[in-house]
Amino acid sequence: VEEEGGSGLESCDGTVPDGQPIDTATLGPKTFTVTTSDELGNDRALTHTYTVVDRTSPLISIASPLNGSVFGLTQPVFAAFTCSDEPGGSGVAACAGDAPHGGRVDTATPGPHSFTVRARDVAGNTAEATALYRVLFDFDGFLRPLVNPPGVNSVKAGRTVPFKFTLDRYPRRDVIAAGYPRSGVVPCGSGQDAGQSEPARGGHWAFPYKRGRDFHLYLWRTDRRWAGTCRQFVLMLVDGSEHEAS
C-alpha cells in the first residue's frame, strides 16, 4: 500500500504469489518475505518467520497376530509389526509391542487376548494399535461311549451319561465356563440346536484333570421324565468354544 500522496506502487511480490500456499513441505523454521517498490524506485521488504512442526501421529501395522486370529493353546506365534512416520516427518522415536518384534505372542492361556503396539515420533506424537485374537483348547470331541454330531446318542431316561474329553494335557481344572454345562429340548431327528437351555442339574465332575491322566469326566444325571424326548447337552469351555452332544 503506497502512502497518501506518494509516487504510486510499482510492484508488490511475495516469496509465493498472493493466495497461494506457503511452504510447509518440510519441518523446521521458514521465512516468508514480501518486497515492494514504488514508482520512484524506493524499495521495502518485510519478512515473517514461521515454523513447520510435526503434528501427525505415527502409523502402526501389525502383521502378527492379525486382528481376529484364532490360535491353538501353546501354539508358537511370533510378533511382527512396524511403526513409521509420514514422509518428511520427525521420525519414529519409539516402537514397542506387548512382545518385541520376533518375540513369542501369548498363547499360554485359553480365551480372548489382545496384542498392543505403541509408537512415538521425535515430535512427541503418539499412536496405539491393538489386535484381538483368541486361543482355543485342542478339543477333539467327546470320547466313547458317546458319539459326536451329527450322530445321536440313545440313553434310557434316568441314567447317568459320562461326558469324557481331553484338552491336550492342559494342567488346570477350571476349564468350564460359568453357567455350564447346560441342556435343552430339541426336536427329535431335526439336527437343530437347543434354542433354550438350562443348567445341567444333577451332574458332577467325577475326574477333573490330574497329572498323568489326560482327560476330564463329567457325569450327567438324566431325568426319568425325559422319556420319549430328545435333548442336547451343551458344554462351553473357558476359551469361549461350545461343544454339543444330542
pLDDT digit string, tens, across residues 125-138: 999 999 999 999 99
The Cα 12–Cα 37 span in angstroms is 7
Predicted confidence band of residue 8 (pLDDT cuts 50, 70, 90): confident
Q: 94, 95, 93: which is closest to 62 by C-alpha?
A: 95
| pLDDT tens digits along 17-33 | 989 999 888 888 988 98
Distances (CA, A) of 132 to 1, 129, 149, 159, 217: 63, 10, 30, 43, 32
pLDDT for the residue numbered 212 = 58
Q: Which of 149-158, 178-187, 190-199 has the lowest mean pLDDT?
A: 190-199
The Cα 212–Cα 121 span in angstroms is 52
**Considering the entire predicted model, what is its pTM?**
0.77
Strand segments, DSSP code E, in the chain are: 9-14, 28-38, 43-52, 59-64, 69-72, 80-84, 92-97, 111-121, 126-136, 160-165, 182-185, 198-199, 204-207, 216-221, 231-236, 242-245
